């Protein structure tokens, strides 16, 4: 692997420290490009939020340069808010549209997110899980970690064997989302998320965490007891997971320089 990646020996999840987030974004994007070239029908698990934004920027640039096609790919996003109107600028579908979908040749019908205002949210969640299974599962999942340890919207208390389902959002998650909604009262209280088992079933999981605001949760992810109290600790169960952190997010890992 790249010399700019410093591996933390003995970490409970294979962890790589980078000087700048751009290095990690490039490494993950390059891995996705390589996957798309060897397997044009790959099934990608996608994430929204500040964390993965640079990975999409790199993928769009690679596509523009003629280096990668998503024409035969399928994507499933981790999660979507409930109770927002379709087309509401705050939905994750709109976010994905802006950051990735509209810049690449992915077919709209192959870009999956749970619906935001379905008639029957539980049925929508069940069908979403079934659709992932029907595609043969996820080849590679991109993942961020919430400050409370959530992965997707699997908030503290989520079980290791959870599947796609309707969840209530944790107050830390809602207050972190105020940036996108402007006011806490506007942040939805419910979402549909892939479960922890859904995420861990992906054949590869690539996790990113950047900035000082993630240093405590990075420490907990690697060092806390493996439990539902901190869902990201379950990433230790995965056989092909990599965690990329910048120096600020690694600040509480004393074995990192
Ligand atoms: P962020 O959120 O990328 O906006 O920091 C990460 C997450 O909540 O999964």
For the residues of 221-248, what is the DSSP string, one character each? Answer: HHHS-SSTTSGGGGGGG-SSEEEEEETT
- Label residue 3 by pLDDT band (50, 70, 90): low
For β-strands 79-81 and 190-193, DSSP reports them as antiparallel
> Is pLDDT of 227 > 70?
yes
Residue 257 has what pLDDT?
Answer: 44
The residues, any chain, with a CB within 8 Å of residue 250's CB and separated by 6 or more, are: 8, 15, 17, 215, 218, 256
Given this model, what pLDDT does residue 254 score?
79
Task: Determine the pLDDT at residue 4.
Answer: 85
CA of 168 to the centre of ligand 1 (A): 17
**Could you give the percent of the chain with pLDDT greater than 70?**
98
Closest ligand 1 atom, CA of 147? 8
75-133 per-position pLDDT tens digit = 999 999 999 998 899 999 999 999 999 999 999 999 999 999 999 999 999 999 999 99
Is the distance from the beta carbon of residue 50 to the nearest atom of ligand 1 less than 6 Å?
yes
Could you tell me if 40 and 72 are in contact, meaning their C-beta atoms sit under 8 angstroms apart? yes
Return the structure tokens found at 6: 């410093």
The answer on pLDDT for 187 being more than 90 is: yes
pLDDT digits (tens, 9 = 90+) for 237-254: 999 999 999 999 999 997
**Residue 154 Cβ contacting ligand 1 at under 6 Å:** no
Q: Give every CB contact of residue 119 below 8 A, 6+ residues apart in sequence.
A: none
| Average pLDDT score, the chain | 96
Q: Which of 25, 58, 79, 139 is catalytic?
A: 79
Q: Name the pLDDT band for 255 (thresholds 50, 70, 90).
A: low
Query: How far is it, in rounded angstroms, from Cα 120 to Cα 17?
Result: 43
Contacts of the segment 71-74: beta carbons below 8 A, 24+ positions apart: 71/40, 71/105, 71/106, 71/107, 72/40, 72/41, 73/36, 73/40, 73/41, 73/42, 73/43, 73/44, 73/106, 73/110, 74/41, 74/42, 74/43, 74/44, 74/110, 74/111, 74/112, 74/135
pLDDT in tens, 36-74: 999 999 999 999 999 999 999 999 999 999 999 999 999
The residue-averaged pLDDT of 11-16 equals 98
Give the Å distance between the CA of 150 and the centre of ligand 1: 9
Say how far apart CA 169 and CA 174 lie, in whole Å: 6
Distance in angstroms (rounded) separating the CA atoms of residues 28 and 57: 12
């Amino acid at each position: 692997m790249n010399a700019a990646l410093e591996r933390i020996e003995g970490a409970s999840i294979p962890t790589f420290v980078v000087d700048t987030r751009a290095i990690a974004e490039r490494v993950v994007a390059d891995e996705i490009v390589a996957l798309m070239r060897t397997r044009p029908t790959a099934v990608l698990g996608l994430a929204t939020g500040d964390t993965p934004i640079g990975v999409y920027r790199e993928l769009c640039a690679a596509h523009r340069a003629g280096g990668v096609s998503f024409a035969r790919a399928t994507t499933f996003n981790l999660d979507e808010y409930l109770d927002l109107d379709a087309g509401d600028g705050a939905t994750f579908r709109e976010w994905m549209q802006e950051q990735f979908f509209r810049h690449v040749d992915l077919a709209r019908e192959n870009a999956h997110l749970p619906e935001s205002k379905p008639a029957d949210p539980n049925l929508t969640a069940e069908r979403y899980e079934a659709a992932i299974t029907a595609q043969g599962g996820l080849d590679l999942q991109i993942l961020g970690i919430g400050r409370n340890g959530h992965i997707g919207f699997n908030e503290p208390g989520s079980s290791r064997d959870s599947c796609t389902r309707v969840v209530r959002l944790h107050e830390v998650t809602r207050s972190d989302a105020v940036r996108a909604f402007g006011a806490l009262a506007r942040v939805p209280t419910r979402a549909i998320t892939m479960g922890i088992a859904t995420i861990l079933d992906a054949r590869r999981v690539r996790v990113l965490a950047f900035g000082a605001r993630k240093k405590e949760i990075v420490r907990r992810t690697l060092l806390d007891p493996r439990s539902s109290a901190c869902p990201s600790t379950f990433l230790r169960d995965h056989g092909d997971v990599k965690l990329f952190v910048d120096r600020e997010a690694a600040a509480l890992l004393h074995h990192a320089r």
